Amino acid sequence: MNQHLKRLHDLDGECRLLAHTADILNWDQETYMPEKAVEERSEQLALLQGLLHDRQTSAEIGDLLSALGSTQGTPAGDPGLPPVERDFLRALWRDYSKNTKLPRDLVTEFARETVVSQSVWQEARKRSDFALFKPHLARIVELSRQVGAAYGFADRPYDGLLDDYEPGNGQEKLDAVFGALRTDLVVLLGKISSRPRVRDDFLSRPFPIAGQDAFARRVAADIGYDFGRGRLDLTAHPFTTTLGSDDVRITTRYDERAMAGGLFSVIHEAGHGLYEQGFDPEIRGSLLADGTSMGIHESQSRFWENVIGRSLPFWSHYFPILKDAFPSQLADVGLEEFYRAINAVTPSLIRTESDEVTYGLHIILRYRLEKELIGGTLSVEDAPAAWNAAMRELLGVEVPDDASGILQDVHWAGGLFGYFPSYALGNLYGAQFYATMRRDLPALDSDVASGRFSPSLGWLRDRIHRFGRRCEPGEICERVTGGPLEARFFVDYLNAKYRDIYGF
């Protein structure tokens, strides 16, 4: 049995190395790759993904899983194995079962098309020209349908895609969660809209990018992101990628007239990085060293970005430092005024720059459209008009062009259909974790106000980060909070916070 396990770990380790090699090329494509290198890069990644698929679906892995008692009914294998090995087998059985359902040609074509599609998306976004991107989006939609159907969801392929990111959360469950969440958010938005507008004009003053970058790097390091095991670079759409146990990279984008956007993007991505840098050494280098789901992963980024990063205690510590870095821009601004400004609620066009209240409506919009695109009830041709209509309905905002509308996110160009719901689920998980954290750490506010983040990071490391994929998302939630995921924690958090800011 030990020999079988060792061989499985060796095979899995080879798959990790291949996957991380492909991720290096993906990272380079989004940061430093020359624009004319797209065609060969697409072939490089198609080749690597094909080789990886061959390794992941080898008959030897299936035979070893069977020898260790890992089956559909007992994916964790022999009950006599150590717990960490049973968790490894359970996760590997899930991956193997899904990967073996995908034809190799589909995997390589998907990899090839997403490289080209992302490159075209960047150009289309610059030109604000959806027509340029349309044929590539149509191809990605078709390939995504094929993936969902191959997983065994021929009638509802979108459920197959959702399962990649948040196991156990199909359309039926998400429809119920998002339906209730939309109602709560609209009610809260109505209360806020009845109050005087918060002053935030000073946030659009020119903040030199070099100063923004220096401040953002300081904050990321302070909250615990290890630059010795990662780096920060610029990209068109911020993301985090893991290229190895000690190589977790984050990216951002800066705008001289939108200082808050760049800063909170860095804090958000650093939250992802903290999760990836926090896995237990026991699972390093294996498939267990990954987020248990994208909803849990987003709970970490959204927690640091919003719950901590937009809190009054946080800025009690950092606002004097920020004023020292930008004295002329913030000379007439006080702490309380700045705090209200970075939390101002204003329905707007851009998801990544939206406030905590309207952000969920952006996700509900994307969830609705991609569900319809994959389900075949919305054509790619009609998608921009559907996007604009949904923005008008959900946020009361008129979309002036494609760049600030349907072309603003890279996810669909990258083939990430099914990912968007994770952002909203991350808000829910994060708020529920925070409620428990506050109970366990009564000095949390004073620690944050003093610039001490090790207690909160240590709490997350101990209860969430170190386990990686050893636990399912529902199990993590139950273990940490004592109950299943509930939207009420997030709704209560928002109401308490914005009642204080807007005085309703």
Report how far residue 271's alpha carbon sits from residue 286's, in angstroms, rounded to the nearest whole number: 21
Q: In what helix (H) or strand (E) does residue 130 lie, and over which residues does it extend?
A: helix 130-150
Given a contact cutoff of 8 angstroms between Cβ atoms, the answer to whether 75 and 93 are in contact is yes
Going by C-beta distance under 8 Å and a sequence separation of 6 or more, which residues neighbour residue 324?
A: none
Report how far residue 425's alpha carbon sits from residue 397's, in angstroms, rounded to the nearest whole number: 24
Report how far residue 297's alpha carbon sits from residue 291's, in angstroms, rounded to the nearest whole number: 6
The DSSP 8-state label assigned to residue 199 in this structure reads P
Report helix, strand and coil shares of the chain as percent, to nearest 5: 65, 5, 30
Buried b / exposed e across 106-115, counting CB within 10 Å, b at 16+? ebbbbbbbbb
35 as an active site residue: the answer is no
Where would I find the H helices in 254-355?
Answer: 259-276, 294-302, 312-325, 335-342
Given a contact cutoff of 8 angstroms between Cβ atoms, the answer to whether 386 and 369 are in contact is yes
Going by C-beta distance under 8 Å and a sequence separation of 6 or more, which residues neighbour residue 375?
A: 156, 157, 158
The active-site residue, picked from 30, 113, 166, 269, is 269
How many Å is the maximal CA-CA distance in the chain?
A: 70
Strand segments, DSSP code E, in 100-239 are: 232-234
Where in the sequence numbering do the catalytic residues fall?
Answer: 269
